[in-house]
Amino acid sequence: MQRILFNFYIAMEAVFANRLRALLTALGIIFGVAAVIAMLAIGYGAKQSILEQMKLIGTNNIAIKAFVPEEEEAASSSSTGNKSNKKPWSPGLTMEDVAAIERVIPNLEKTSPEMEISTSAIRAGKLQSLKCVGVTNAFFELNNLELSQGNFFSDWHIRNGRPVCIIGKSVQIKFFPEENPIGQTIKCGNTWLTIVGVMERRVASSKSLEQLGIRDYNSDIYLPVSTALLRFKNRAKITRADIGNQFNEGSNTNDNYHQLDRLVIRIKDSEYLQASSDVVARLLKRRHRELVDYEIQVPELLLQQQQKTQETFNFVLAVIAGISLLVGGIGIMNIMLASVLERIKEIGIRRSLGANKKDIIYQFLFEAVFISLIGGLIGVVLGVVSAKTIASYADIPTVVTAWSILLSFWCSSLSRFNFWNFPCSKSCKSRPDQSLAHRLRMDSISS
C-alpha cells in the first residue's frame, strides 16, 4: 500500500508540474462528456414531450374538428357532376352524425361530442371571459381528466338538460379562492349553473396544447351537451333571424352552422384505427352532401410516427456524442503515449533507483485516472449547464437523467485504461542491450 501511495504521489507531482499539458489532455473528455449529457438531455426531453402529448389526447382516438369552409373551398369540394349554380349545403357536424357513427363502427368504444360557447362568467362582482364546453362524461375519460371535488354528471343531468357544470381549477381559484364551490352557482351568459364538480389541475405546457389544438382544461367550464343545446344555442336550428340574414347583402356567410365543434371517437383496438377513420370519413362525406367541412385527425398514429423518428434521432445524437467522447479518450491515450516516450529518461532513473515495471505502470495509470476523473466532473457540470441553457434560450425541452451522466462517465472511464496497451512496457523492460535503465546502472557502476 505504501508503494502504491508513493506512486500516486509521484503521479500527482507530474500532473501539477505540467498543468497545461494535463488541461489539454482533459479537454477531449470534458467536451465529450458534456456533449453526451447535453444531447441525451435534448433527446429525452423531446421524448417526454411526445409522451405528454399522447397523455393529453388519450389513446386510440380519432378527432373530428368542424370548420366553416370559404366559398371557394366549398365550391371545389362539392361534387364535380353537379352542373347547377346552387351553393353546396351541409347540415354540419351534429348529434345525428354521432348516432350514425355509433351504429356503423363495430369496434367503437366511446364517443365524446363537444360544443364550445364563448361567454363570460360572473359571480360576486368578478367577471371573466371564458368558454363553456358542452360535453358528456366520456369527455373526461377520453382525456384522462379526474375530479378533485364533487361528482361527474348524472344520467338525470344529461337526460333533462339540467343547469349544472364542472369547473376547471383556474376557475375555482378565480371565483372561489377561499370557499368550497360544490353546490354554489355561477352565471354564464344569461344562465345560472350549479357547480357539481371541480376538475383536478392538468399540468401541460402551452406549446403542447398549441401543437395538439387542445384548450387549457383548467380555464373552462364544462356542462352537459344537452344543457348547452337547450339553454344556450343550438346552431342546428334555423330561426327567423337566420332566414332573414340570407337576404341581407351584408350578412356574414361564414357563420358557424355546426351543432358540434368537435367529436372524439375512441376505437377499442389500435389495429383498426386507420380503417375506422377511413369509414368515418366516407360516412361523413355522404351525410354532409360531399362538402368537406370537417377535418379528421388520428393523433395517436401521428405521434407514434413522431416518436419513432425521435428515437432514431436520439440514437444518432448518442452515437455522435459517443464518437466525440471516444475521440477524447484516444486523445488522452495519444498524449499519454507521447508523455511516456518523452519521459524515458525519468523512467530509466526510477528503474535504476529500484522501481519495477509495475511501479511505472501505476504512475501513468494514476495520471490518466486523475486527468479523466477531473475532466469527467468538469464535463458533467458543463453538460448540465449546457442543457439548461439550451432549454432556456432555444425553447427546446431538455431532461438531464442520472443514467446519461453514468453513461458518459462510464465511457470516459474506458479511456483511463487505454494506456495499458501503450508500448510503455517496452520502455520499462530491463533488456541488457536496449534498456536505458540498464545503461544508467552500467554508467553508475563504472563511475
Q: Rounded to whole angstroms, how far apart are CA atoms 150 and 225?
A: 19
Q: Rounded to whole angstroms, how far apart are CA atoms 339 and 18?
A: 11
CB 322 within 8 A of CB 48: no
pLDDT at 143: 81
> What is the reported pTM?
0.59
Average pLDDT across each block of 10 residues of the chain; the chain has 447 residues. List them in order: 80 79 77 80 74 63 86 56 63 91 89 92 90 92 87 92 93 91 92 94 62 72 93 78 53 72 86 86 90 82 62 71 70 71 79 82 80 83 86 76 74 55 46 43 41
Three-state secondary structure readout of the chain:
CHHHHHHHHHHHHHHHHCHHHHHHHHHHHHHHHHHHHHHHHHHHHHHHHHHHHHHHHCCCEEEEEECCCCHHHHHHHCCCCCCCCCCCCCCCCCHHHHHHHHHHCCCEEEEEEEEEEEEEEEECCEEEEEEEEEECHHHHHHCCCCEEEECCCCHHHHHHCCCEEEECHHHHHHHCCCCCCCCCEEEECCEEEEEEEEECCCCCCHHHHHHHCCCCHHHCEEEEHHHHHHHCCCCCCCCHHHHHHCCCCCCCCCCCCCCCCEEEEEECCHHHHHHHHHHHHHHHHHHCCCCCCEEEECHHHHHHHHHHHHHHHHHHHHHHHHHHHHHHHHHHHHHHHHHHHHCHHHHHHHHHCCCCHHHHHHHHHHHHHHHHHHHHHHHHHHHHHHHHHHHHHCCCCCCCCHHHHHHHHHHHHHHHHHHHHCCHHHHHCCCCCCCHHHHHHHHHHHC
Burial of 447 (0-12, 13-18, 19+ CB in 10 A): exposed
CB 221 within 8 A of CB 171: yes
CB 92 within 8 A of CB 254: no
Closest CA to 201 of 215, 221, 216, 185: 216
Handedness of CA 48, 52, 55, 57 (dihedral sign): negative
Closest CA to 42 of 429, 387, 418: 387
pLDDT at 440: 42
pLDDT at 441: 44
pLDDT at 59: 65
Q: What is the pLDDT of residues 263-296, one digit of tens each?
A: 999 888 777 888 888 999 999 999 998 888 888 8
Query: Could you state, in order of their start, the residue ranges of all structural domains in the chain?
Result: 2-53+305-446, 59-303
CB 120 within 8 A of CB 153: no
pLDDT at 6: 81
pLDDT at 95: 92
pLDDT at 360: 81
Cell of 40: 441525451
